[in-house]
Amino acid sequence: MPDLLLELFSEEIPARMQARASADLRKLVTDALVERGFTYEGALNLATPRRLVLHIAGLPARGKDQREERKGPRVGAPDAAIQGFLKSAGLSSIDEARIERDPKKGEFYVAVTESAGRPTLDVLAEILPEVIRGFPWPKSMRWGAASASSASFRWIRPLRGIVATFGPETEDPEVVPFEIGGLKAGDTTFGHRFMAPQPIRVKRLADYVRKLEAAKVIVDPERRKDIIRTDARNLAFAQGFELVEDEALVDEVSGLVEWPVTLLGSFEEEFLDVPAEVIRATIRANQKCFVLRDPATGKLANRFIATANVAARDGGATITAGNGRVIRARLSDARFFWETDKRVLLAERAKKLETITFHARLGSQGERVRRIAGLARELAPLVGADAALAERAALLCKADLVTEMVGEFPELQGLMGRYYAALQGEPDSVAAAIGDHYKPQGPSDAVPSEPVSIAVALADKLDTLVGFWAIGEKPTGSKDPYALRRAALGVIRLVLSNQLRLPLTEVIDNFIVLGKLTGEYAIPTQARFATIRDLVGFLVERLKVQLREQGARHDLVDAVLGLADGQDDLLLIVARVEALAAFLDSEDGKSLLAGYKRAANILRAEEKKDGRGFDGAPDPRLFSLPEEMLLHDTLVAAADKAREAVAREDFAGAMRALAGARGDVDRFFEHVTVNADEHQVRENRLRLLNALRAATLTVGDLSRVAG
């Protein structure tokens, strides 16, 4: 079957836009084909710094023939209705319509129109210009003489050529006939800008990839990444060093080169006195280079690896020398910042935070630091930390925001504070807490485990959440400008990873009261509890999302969250979900769930019929069958044991207690007719079933469990 090969060849496409643009091109073209009734076997999108490429395999040579039946008016209908039908159906005479008979409605006219499927080449010539003209670049430009008109064609950078071929493997493909921005689609592209800029005629994907590689262009971004990783590791190993892996940098660099060539450079050893993270940030940010370390010591080496876009005649000596000059200059700046910052105590720098606004309605960074310090002191006993150390770390945790180094490299905030605190004689736990208080910042980030660090990290995130909840700036839909979902996930991971029993309602309430007393929050008393309830609900909802992402059954999470107690204790929620999952995976659990479902269905039907519930304990004097008494006694004992186990937070024990009722539940349904003729007996048995339903509520709301 025929394939489509499309290449949009232009000046530079920014690295950060390539993957998204490539995916957009694929989606826009394939969606347009599907809308027109064209199916395909597969689609592949590729990108380089100069080209977007799309290959669609297995397209038909033409679309399917179309047959449409249009029902018209009844035979004998007024002439106006007949004429309207003819016009809408495209018929010149009613004789061209078919007459069909309906047993109920009588005879009526039917117009049948048939049309041959359109050639795919013609459809592509219609689709591709539409997609290219309307391409969703976040920014685009006009160029050349046509740019005088605001209606002229726009692209991310000047578009220099279009390859668009269509045809089967056994034949030479045809060029899709269209023109846009003064460029006609053709079958000619160009190789590497410097090493092979000559025009190249291409046919289909395999031919295109092979010829471009011969012209020093690797079209597949994943292959460029593999080359960069492998060559950088091998080059480092050959010199006795080890590459400091940086996948984000690999992604970025692969979007800057069409023909990756790794080169080894060096800088003076004296710069290694600067913290390793600073060296790495400097080299990475300014020159997009990788750093190396000595595998024997684990320390950074005075080497770097650059990725060039050309195989230079001098082996890359000029390129590495140029990179080295820039790196030395930037490292000199970094060393100056480092030496300058060390001379000023963090406590002195922290005073400058009073002049930096955190948020117009939440005060300065200085005010925020005082809030965090107060909360860290409150949290310290709950996480096993020294309150004075937690408060000290919190008071200094934002001080590095006003250092020269963080001003140059904002991504080093926290880390530089840790360095400066250690150099200035602060306790190790205080320095560590300063360095860790932003963590965890994402699902793969490390979670602080030292008590002082936990207290300050929790206080920082809770201050963010409480503050923005207090002023009504909550996330809405996909919008989350203050990264509140990330802060909530940070709280959750801190709590769960460190097995913390944290009463969120109490902690947040204390924080709001503390803030209100110092005038930093203005939450009216009557709104305080609604704010707390809403924020705790948000945290629980984020926990729910995380549990589902980790594979927990959504219905079991809902069953636990359906309970009335313990819903602000994240650790307790997780423990209950895990225990319920383990229980319902057992034979006892499955059997008890089946019995619960049967009881619940009977109760639901009878409650709807009677218009009331069946609360209250059943009366043993009304039992007439031994299975009733056995189930009653078993439920009383099991419910008591389950409640005692839950009070001890032994959720597995609570499940085992309820599992003991399994046999008597089965026997009850086997031998007892719930809807007895005698009213009192019937109502008493329904109360017994309600007791079964109530007993299971000690472990979860089983009405929310599927199955």
> Which CA distances in Å does 251 have to 39, 225, 229, 246, 256?
33, 7, 10, 9, 9
Question: How many CA atoms within 13 Å lie on the side-chain side of 664?
Answer: 21
Identify the helix (H) or strand (E) that includes residue 357: strand 357-359
Return the pLDDT at 566: 54
Give yes or no for residue 270 having a pLDDT over 90: yes
Average pLDDT over residues 518-543: 79
Q: What is the largest CA-CA distance in the chain?
A: 103
Q: How far is CA 45 from the centre of its chain?
A: 22
For 22-39, how does the pLDDT look when each residue is reduced to its tens digit (9 = 90+)? 999 999 999 999 999 899
Rounded Cα–Cα distance for residues 447 and 578 (Å): 22
Q: Is the pLDDT of residue 493 over 80?
A: yes
As a whole number of angstroms, the distance between CA 687 and CA 613 comes to: 9
The predicted pLDDT at position 92 comes to 84
Whole-model pTM: value is: 0.79
Residues counted in the chain: 707
> How many angstroms separate the CA atoms of 154 and 123, rounded?
23
List the one residue out of 594, 613, 579 whose CA is nearest residue 668: 594
8 Å CB contact between 154 and 139: no
d(C-alpha 606, C-alpha 675), whole Å: 9
Write down the H helix ranges in 36-136: 79-89, 120-133
pLDDT of residue 518: 46
Phi, psi of 132 (to 5 degrees): -65, -45
- Show the tokens assigned to 684: 């008493």
Task: Please tell me the predicted confidence (pLDDT) of residue 464.
Answer: 94
**What integer is the mean pLDDT of 370-396?**
96
Q: How much is the pLDDT for 564? A: 60
The predicted-structure confidence for 163-194, as pLDDT tens digits, reads as follows 999 999 888 999 999 999 889 999 999 999 99
More confident residue, 483 or 96: 483
Residue 207 CB contacts under 8 Å (≥ 6 apart), including other chains: none
Q: Which long-range contacts (CB under 8 A, 24 or more apart) does 318-322 make?
A: 319/263, 320/263, 320/264, 320/265, 321/265
520 pLDDT exceeds 60? Answer: no
pLDDT bin (cut points 50, 70, 90) of residue 521 is low
In this prediction, residue 525 has a pLDDT band, given cuts at 50, 70 and 90, of low
| Residue 541 pLDDT > 60 | yes
Q: Considering the chain, what is the average pLDDT of its residues?
A: 92
How large is the average pLDDT for residues 206-227?
97
pLDDT of 517 above 60: no
How far apart, in whole angstroms, are the C-alpha atoms of residue 706 and residue 593? 10
Confidence (pLDDT) at 592: 87
Q: Rounded to an integer, what is the distance from CA 572 to the centroid of its chain? A: 26
Q: Return the top range by mean pLDDT from 5-9, 166-170, 615-619.
A: 5-9
Q: What is the mean pLDDT of the segment spanning 549-576?
A: 85
199-213, 410-424, 476-490, 518-532: range with lowest mean pLDDT: 518-532
CB atoms inside a 10 Å sphere around CB 163? 23
Residue 357 has pLDDT above 90, yes or no: yes
Average pLDDT over residues 391-414: 96
Q: Exposed e or buried b for every residue in 19-31, given b needs 16+ CB within 10 A?
A: eebbebbbebbbe
Rounded to whole angstroms, what are the CA distances from 667 to 591, 621, 625, 628, 661? 12, 20, 11, 9, 10
- Quickly state the pLDDT bin for 515 (edges 50, 70, 90): low
Whether residue 256 has pLDDT greater than 90: yes
Sign of CA dihedral 406, 460, 538, 696: positive
Q: Can you tell me the mean pLDDT for 45-67?
A: 92
pLDDT tens-place string over residues 547-562: 999 889 989 988 998 8
**Buried/exposed 52-86: b ≥16 CB within 10 Å, e otherwise:** bbbbbbebeebbeeeeeeeebbeeeeeeeebeebb
Alpha-carbon distance 663 to 232, whole Å?
Answer: 66
Give the confidence band of 95 by pLDDT, cuts at 50, 70, 90: confident
**Collapsed DSSP state (helix, strand, coil) of residue 108:** strand
The reported pLDDT for the residue numbered 444 is 86
* pLDDT over 70 percentage in the chain: 98
Predicted confidence (pLDDT) at residue 609 exceeds the cutoff of 90: no
Instruction: Tell me what percent of the residues of the chain surpass a pLDDT of 90.
Output: 72
Q: Which residue has the higher pLDDT, 103 or 374?
A: 374
For the chain, the straight-line distance linking the first and the last C-alpha, in angstroms and rounded, comes to 46
Q: Which residue has the higher pLDDT, 406 or 149?
A: 406
Per-residue confidence (pLDDT) for residue 147, from 0 to 100 = 84
Q: Are 180 and 133 in contact (CB under 8 A)?
A: yes
- Ranking 440-444, 566-570, 686-690 by mean pLDDT, the lowest is 566-570
